[in-house]
Amino acid sequence: MAYFKRILILPVGSYEYHGKHLPATMDAIIATRVTVSLAERVRPTFDGIVIELPVLNYGLSLEHIGLPSTAYVFHTTYYTFVSELLDSIASDGDLLVVINGHGGNINTLSAIEADFNYRHQRSKMFFPQVYSNLVKQMSDQFFGEFDAHAGSVEASLLAFYQGHPPSEYNVELPKTVRGTFRFLRTVEMSPHAIIKQLPTVIADPARGERLHNAIADDAAESVIRLASELGDFLTE
């Protein structure tokens, strides 16, 4: 880890409809809060500077075309913008960590990670998965599923972030087929934009807090381990 002088953390999300109970900025809220907690966990073990960058509120939300409160850019635009943004802030000895709250961004961010690291010998980008297998297992234990969009996971995280009391509400279940998001828009499956398998959304701040801490702990462990291992390699 001694090689890296700075860790810069960029939260990225989206602006898209999350039903009537959750804000359109839900993914950006998650990314921002995880960034803050990740920075807190990394600072005690890192001798350099940890910088929290402003959140990128827009992303790849084409699957939500036709729904209100939704904005998006295309893959090529997003790829170019984020790549150029990272290039502009990267200096030798930097580890750039992107915390992503929106599933639709994943494929493009993975491509950006690979391409950035091949272009840059003395600075690196890392894109950890926010919803690790552990977090998905916890969600299954807490709610009976890991719901894909605007369900109990996000509702409980928001309840924790905003200090709401526990609540529940029923929703109309979407129509789904294998590989649904590869072929259909959200509005074609659910006009309410809630993608889940069980009819009740649980908004529980206590479970949201445990999920948030698991996300932040996983991310911090991954960043610290990577910075140490990669830093040793780069100084050889």
Q: What is the reported pTM?
A: 0.96
DSSP labels for 9-75? EEEE--B--BTTTB-TTHHHHHHHHHHHHHHHHHGGG-SSEEEEPPPB-----GGGTTSSS-B---H
* Cα-to-chain-centroid distance, residue 100: 3
- Parent domain of 173: 133-210
Average pLDDT over residues 109-130: 97
Task: Please check whether residues 162 and 107 belong to one and the same domain.
Answer: no
pLDDT tens-place string over residues 175-184: 765 557 788 8
Task: Please check whether residues 137 and 124 belong to one and the same domain.
Answer: no
- Angle, nearest 10°, between helix axes 205-234 and 152-162? 90
Task: Please check whether residues 57 and 103 belong to one and the same domain.
Answer: yes
191 Rama class: left (phi>0) / alpha (psi -120 to 50) / beta? alpha
Task: Please check whether residues 146 and 229 belong to one and the same domain.
Answer: no
Specify the pLDDT at position 91.
96
State the total domains in the chain: 2
* Cα-to-chain-centroid distance, residue 166: 24
- Model confidence band, residue 89 (pLDDT cutoffs 50, 70, 90): very high
Task: Please check whether residues 203 and 215 belong to one and the same domain.
Answer: no
Specify the pLDDT at position 232.
81
Residue 153 is assigned to a structural domain of this protein = yes
User: How many CB atoms sit inside 10 A of residue 199's CB?
Assistant: 11
Q: Which residues contact 76 (CB under 8 A, 6 or more apart)?
A: none
**H-type alpha helices, the chain:** 26-42, 75-89, 106-119, 133-143, 152-162, 180-183, 186-189, 205-234
Task: Please check whether residues 104 and 180 belong to one and the same domain.
Answer: no
Q: What angle do CA 149, 155, 161 make, to 5 degrees?
A: 130
Residue 1 is assigned to a structural domain of this protein = no
Name the β-bridge partners of 18: 22
Task: Please check whether residues 114 and 71 belong to one and the same domain.
Answer: yes
Q: Are 176 and 148 in contact (CB under 8 A)?
A: no
Task: Please check whether residues 24 and 92 belong to one and the same domain.
Answer: yes
pLDDT tens-place string over residues 15-54: 999 999 999 999 999 999 999 999 999 999 999 999 999 9
Task: Please check whether residues 52 and 124 belong to one and the same domain.
Answer: yes
